[in-house]
């Protein structure tokens, strides 16, 4: 894999924010090309998509227990009858009225753990009860993963770090729909879903969190920058990809955890104002929002309303929050956003430190 297919930050040397030096960014690989969407389709497809995004902060609590206590041997749970207090992704899907797409971030699955991946694919489609079983043919999902492969930057916790997962309901034209990683990410941060007959691409994003921790060359392991540097290069790759897709005639949706609070309205009690955080925020605005003309659907539809997607577990509910998870749409979808909401409550946060958000977008007719 060429160096252009990876996030390769500039050297550590940086100047003050007031006089930023000109930067040269590597171009993303051009080997990841996508055929332009077809002009017409006669297939009967939904005219809108409901998309949920949630940083789940570890999928382990949603898996069936590996062992059973002796006292419970006579009431052992089955996949169709989970323990009363065990979280269930399928129960979430039903509560959310079976969205077309669910984008999960930070699933924290080791890339070699194919057993867990297979288990998730199974339990996602296992009916919860008899009512669900009767309707289940209409509520089946295909599950896709992108897990970290970077041996120098994503090795913590036995590889159970980062990772994104996209669930796509099978009735939105499965034969033509594809979901794959992108060549410029090897940390398990990006999945790209292609819906040709909707002329729409959907990114599931877990953007890099900017910190002063070192960023190492994926090939040599040598320190070549910080995670702040890597974050800004991630923005460059994402923006370049969006530009390329739009030029080919695609509408683009970006959903996920951007690890950015855009303005003071998006943080409580206050926005982070450290020099590098200010620079990262300006970089995101310049490259992705203004540079690509992407629309933040929450601000576009809900104006100055304040809800947050990140709710830290170390504080009492309501003492702090940030809107770092977003859905962005390209210009062609700006007038097609029907509804958007953030499920900003403790129940929906569950065991995570983020809450889900969702959008409904018209994609055809």
Active site positions, annotated? 206, 257, 354
- Confirm or deny that 55 is annotated as ligand binding: yes
- Confirm or deny that 353 is annotated as ligand binding: yes
Residue showing tokens 């296992």: 126
Helix (H, G, I), strand (E, B) or coil at 339: strand
- Confirm or deny that 153 is annotated as ligand binding: no
C-alpha distances (whole Å) from 128 to each of 32, 60, 77, 158, 253 are 39, 19, 12, 32, 31
Phi, psi of 334 (to 5 degrees): -55, -45
Assigned token pair, 130:
């008899």
| DSSP class of 4 | G
CA dihedral of 312, 99, 167, 41, whole degrees rounded to 10? -140
Which of 179, 350, 172, 322 minimizes the C-alpha distance to 258?
A: 322
C-alpha distances (whole Å) from 35 to each of 176, 196, 244, 318, 357 are 12, 9, 11, 46, 30
- Confirm or deny that 280 is annotated as ligand binding: no
Pairing of strands 251-257, 200-206: parallel
Rounded distance, CA 100 to CA 90, Å? 13
Rounded distance, CA 2 to CA 18, Å? 34
Rounded distance, CA 358 to CA 241, Å? 23
| DSSP class of 249 | T
Phi, psi of 24 (to 5 degrees): -110, 125
Beta bridge partner(s), residue 166 = 103, 144
Helix (H, G, I), strand (E, B) or coil at 234: helix
What is the residue-wise DSSP string for 164-209? EEEEEETTS-TTT-EEE--TT--SS-EEEEEEGGGTEEEEEEEPPP
In sign, the C-alpha dihedral spanning 288, 290, 294, 298 is positive
Helix (H, G, I), strand (E, B) or coil at 206: strand
Q: Output the known binding site for Mg(2+).
A: 55, 106, 257, 259, 353-354
């Amino acid at each position: 894999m060429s160096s252009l297919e990876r996030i390769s930050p500039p050297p550590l040397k940086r100047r003050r924010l007031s006089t930023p030096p000109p930067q040269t960014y590597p171009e993303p690989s051009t080997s990841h090309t996508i055929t332009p969407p077809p002009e017409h389709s006669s297939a009967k497809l939904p005219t809108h998509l409901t998309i949920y995004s949630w940083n789940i902060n570890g999928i382990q609590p949603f898996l069936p227990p590996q062992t059973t206590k002796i006292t419970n041997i006579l009431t052992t749970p089955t996949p169709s009858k989970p323990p009363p207090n065990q979280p269930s992704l399928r129960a979430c899907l039903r509560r959310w009225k079976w969205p077309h797409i669910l984008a999960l971030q930070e699933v924290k699955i080791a890339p070699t753990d194919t057993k867990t991946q297979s288990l998730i694919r199974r339990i996602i489609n296992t009916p919860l009860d008899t009512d669900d079983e009767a309707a289940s043919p209409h509520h089946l999902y295909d599950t896709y993963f992108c897990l970290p492969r970077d041996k120098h930057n994503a090795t913590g916790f036995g590889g159970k770090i980062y990772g994104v997962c996209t669930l796509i309901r099978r009735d939105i034209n499965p034969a033509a729909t594809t979901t794959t990683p992108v060549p410029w990410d090897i940390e398990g941060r990006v999945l790209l879903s292609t819906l040709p007959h909707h002329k729409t691409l959907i990114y599931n994003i877990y953007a890099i969190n900017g910190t002063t921790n070192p960023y190492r060359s994926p090939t040599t392991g040598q320190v070549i920058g910080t995670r702040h540097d890597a974050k800004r290069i991630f923005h460059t790759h994402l923006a370049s990809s969006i530009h390329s897709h739009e030029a080919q005639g695609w509408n683009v949706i970006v959903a996920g955890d951007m690890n950015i609070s855009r303005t003071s309205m998006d943080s409580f009690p206050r926005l982070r104002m450290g020099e590098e955080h200010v620079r990262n925020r300006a970089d995101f605005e310049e490259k992705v929002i203004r540079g690509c003309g992407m629309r933040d659907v929450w601000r576009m539809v809900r104006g100055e309303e304040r809800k947050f997607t990140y709710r830290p577990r170390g504080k009492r509910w309501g003492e702090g929050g940030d809107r770092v998870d977003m859905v962005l749409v390209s210009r062609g979808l700006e007038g097609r956003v029907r509804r958007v909401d953030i499920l900003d409550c403790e129940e929906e946060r569950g065991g995570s430190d983020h809450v889900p958000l969702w959008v409904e977008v018209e994609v055809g007719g």
